[in-house]
Structures are given as C-alpha cells and as structure tokens.
C-alpha cells in the first residue's frame, strides 16, 4: 500500500460549506509579518547534551523573555501545541516517545495561582498516541485532539478540559481499518472551530473534518482541497526550522496569537 501525503498551499481565502453555514478560513501569515509581541512560541528542541526539551518563549521589545522549560527528558519529545484562553491560562501538549510508542503529555498554567501544573500523561487505552493539537472554541473551552494507534489501526481522538483535568477521549472518525492521522484545529473568521485530519481513501490521503455544532462534534466528512485547506508547514514533520534569527533553532514550532485567540499559520523555511 502506497501512502501519499498531499502538500497543499493555502494562497487565498477559502470557503467551506457546512450545511448552511459558510466558514471563511484565513490564509497563512508570512514569518516576517508576525507580531511576536502578542504570541506564545512553543518549541521542541534537542539540547547540546542530547536531551529533548519542550520550551515556551514570549517576545519583549528587545529579544525574547526568559525561556520557560516545560519538559526535559532523555526520551524523544516532539509535536508541541500551545493555546491560551481568555482568562490567561496556558495549555501545552506534546508527544513523548518510549521506543516506538508515544504518549501525550500536557501541562497547564493557572493565571489565578501563577504557577504551572506537573506533567500529566493523558490516560489512554491505545497502544501509542502522537501528534497532539490544542484548540479553543468560541465558548472559551479547550480541546485536545491526537492520533492514537490500537488494534483497529490509527484513529483520531478528542478530549475536553473539564474542572482541572482532561475528559475521557472519544474517537472522532468512523471505525474502519484505514489510517487517520495528523489532526489539526483550524478556525473560521467568526471563531468557528473545525477539527481536520488526514484519512486514507481510495489509495490516497485526503482531508476529513468535523465541526463543533450545538456543542456536538459532527460526523466526519470528506473535503476536497477546494473546500478545506491546511497550513503548509505541517507540525508533524521532524524538520529543522527557523522563524527569525532571534528565535533559537528548533526541531518543531507552534505559535499562538494571544490577541486574535488562534494559532498562527506560517510558512517556515528550512535552515541552510
């Protein structure tokens, strides 16, 4: 079986028809146009001592504020995702690998207590969980999606932050033997939230999506590239990336815009 990942570049505003609702997805921002003063930047990096770390940085007028170390481990840590809600609480999620299997780790910063929680490993019944992505809906609720592997194959799971912990994960995609991978939240112009992922269909990977309507995630739908698009710089890829000369070289980067309350979709060039 040949797996082919589509590479899609979002160059214009795209229209998605969901029942009778039209959702406008904004185009990616060039790295040079990002106002870093309003962003939280999460990175997955390999240190000079060989350890793997997850870090957060914020911008000040000159340079970057002191780095917040979220996790440092001998085990490989990848796929950082970060969001901040309207209260100022920060959520970070990433994949930690133990050999061939992965687990989703999370930490939470309380704006009331002014401190970070300990590292929590997401409770899961699957064999391996990777590629977490965090999102916030228009009611300020925080969601966590990821790809989990079980006897049934690769599927997309979703959990919600409730009273200081994550809810039980529920499968979003239909039950079948075809792999479903690489979840990602995207937003409409009116803060509508969609969960998208790659699903294998008739010999190729295509886009699937589920929308949050009336507090319920809809049944998965297939979407052609003309109806839904995703940022070109896929956070799943283990590439050496750089955003600016000020930001340390990182293996992977996630950026959250605190002003617009949505992730920054950027085009990142490879380091030469």
Q: Which residues pair with 93 in a beta bridge?
A: 81, 106
Among residues 134, 192, 198, the alpha carbon closest in space to that of 15 is found at 192
pLDDT surpasses 50 at 101: yes
pLDDT of residue 30: 43
**Cβ–Cβ under 8 Å, residues 230 and 196:** yes
Is 271 strand, coil or helix?
A: coil
Average pLDDT on 91-105 reads 93
Is 36 strand, coil or helix?
A: helix
| Residue 104 confidence class, pLDDT cut points 50, 70, 90 | very high
| Residue 209 counted as domain residue | no
| Residue 234 counted as domain residue | yes
Average pLDDT on 179-198 reads 86
Percent over 70 (pLDDT), the chain: 70
The CA distance from 45 to 42, in Å, is 10
| Residue 217 confidence class, pLDDT cut points 50, 70, 90 | very high
| Residue 89 counted as domain residue | yes
92 against 238, higher pLDDT? 92
**How many structural domains are present in the chain?**
1
Alpha carbon separation from 240 to 45, 73, 115, 243, 257 (Å, rounded) = 9, 19, 31, 10, 22
Q: Which domain holds residue 106?
A: 14-186+222-270
The CA distance from 174 to 4, in Å, is 21
**Cβ–Cβ under 8 Å, residues 13 and 216:** no
Question: Mean pLDDT lowest for which of 41-55, 77-91, 110-124, 160-174?
Answer: 41-55
pLDDT of residue 250: 57
| Residue 104 counted as domain residue | yes
| Residue 101 counted as domain residue | yes
Bridging pattern class, strands 29-30 and 266-267: parallel
| Residue 157 counted as domain residue | yes
Average pLDDT on 142-154 reads 92
pLDDT of residue 268: 41
pLDDT of residue 257: 81
Average pLDDT on 53-64 reads 75
| Residue 2 counted as domain residue | no
Q: Which tens digits make up the pLDDT trace of 225-268?
A: 444 554 433 332 322 233 333 455 555 778 888 887 878 765 44
Q: Which tens digits make up the pLDDT trace of 105-138?
A: 999 999 999 999 999 999 988 899 999 999 999 9
Average pLDDT on 138-156 reads 92
Average pLDDT on 210-238 reads 64
| Residue 30 counted as domain residue | yes
pLDDT of residue 83: 94
163 against 27, higher pLDDT? 163
147 against 266, higher pLDDT? 147
């Amino acid at each position: 079986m040949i797996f082919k990942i589509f590479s899609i570049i979002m160059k214009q505003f795209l229209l998605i028809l969901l029942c009778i609702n039209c959702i406008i997805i904004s185009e990616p921002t060039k790295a040079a146009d990002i106002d870093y003063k309003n962003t939280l930047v999460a990175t997955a990096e390999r240190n000079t001592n060989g350890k793997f770390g997850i870090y957060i940085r914020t911008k000040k007028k000159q340079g970057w504020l002191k780095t917040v170390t979220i996790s440092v481990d001998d085990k490989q840590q990848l796929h950082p995702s970060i969001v901040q809600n309207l209260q100022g609480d920060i959520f970070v999620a990433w994949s930690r690998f133990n050999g061939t299997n992965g687990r989703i780790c999370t930490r939470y910063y309380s704006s009331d207590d002014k401190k970070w929680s300990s590292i929590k490993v997401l409770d899961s019944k699957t064999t391996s969980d990777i590629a977490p992505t965090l999102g916030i809906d228009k009611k300020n609720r925080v969601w966590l999606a990821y790809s989990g592997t079980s006897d049934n194959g690769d599927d997309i799971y979703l959990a919600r932050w409730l009273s200081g912990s994550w809810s039980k994960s529920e499968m979003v995609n239909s039950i079948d033997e075809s792999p479903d991978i690489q979840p990602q939240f995207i937003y409409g112009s009116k803060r509508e939230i969609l969960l998208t992922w790659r699903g294998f269909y008739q010999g190729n990977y295509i886009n699937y999506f589920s929308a949050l309507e009336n507090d319920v995630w809809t049944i998965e739908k297939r979407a052609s590239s003309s109806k839904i698009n995703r940022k070109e710089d896929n956070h799943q890829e283990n590439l050496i990336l750089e955003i600016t000369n000020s930001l340390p070289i990182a293996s992977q980067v996630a950026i959250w815009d605190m002003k617009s309350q949505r992730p920054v979709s950027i085009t990142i060039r490879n380091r030469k």
